[in-house]
Copies of this chain bind each other. A is one copy, B any other.
């Protein structure tokens, strides 16, 4: 048994019960972005969070223990994603990757935007020509240091 089995249980329960991630997040008391990632096997829950998630999705005590163990991360089956929605993000990295690099270095110098000390917010942006997806990412800048 492994975390992947718990993730599958959660996804199946969600489909059959018709739950929404936003409602799950409300009950956990954290952002929908973090909670969804956690339920999909990418983040580690505390015992309290695992208990709430376990209650919502009908998970056993053993399942809840797995939720508290740091998972092997990576949620995609192939290096280049085949799903069109996820591919668009990969395409952004491909087309704009060198732009990210130039502009962050211009502003901050040598270093990276952390993907660990990181948060994200995803919202609907109403627009008369068709609503838009708006994503705000915020990651701490970490400078390379000399030694």
**A-to-B contact residues, CB < 8 Å:** 1-2, 8, 11-12, 15-16, 18, 20-22, 30-34, 36-37, 40, 42-44, 62, 65-66, 69-70, 72-120, 122, 124-125, 127, 129-147
Chain B residues with Cβ under 8 A from A113's Cβ? 85, 88-89, 132-133, 135
Q: Are A122 and B135 in contact (CB under 8 A)?
A: no
Total copies of the chain? 10
- Please classify the interface of chain A as helix (H, G, I), strand (E, B), loop, or mixed, using the class held by over half of its residues: mixed
Q: Are B132 and A115 in contact (CB under 8 A)?
A: no
CB contact under 8 A between A125 and B138, given known A97-B76, A98-B75, A133-B113: yes
CB contact under 8 A between A129 and B139, given known A95-B73, A117-B145: no
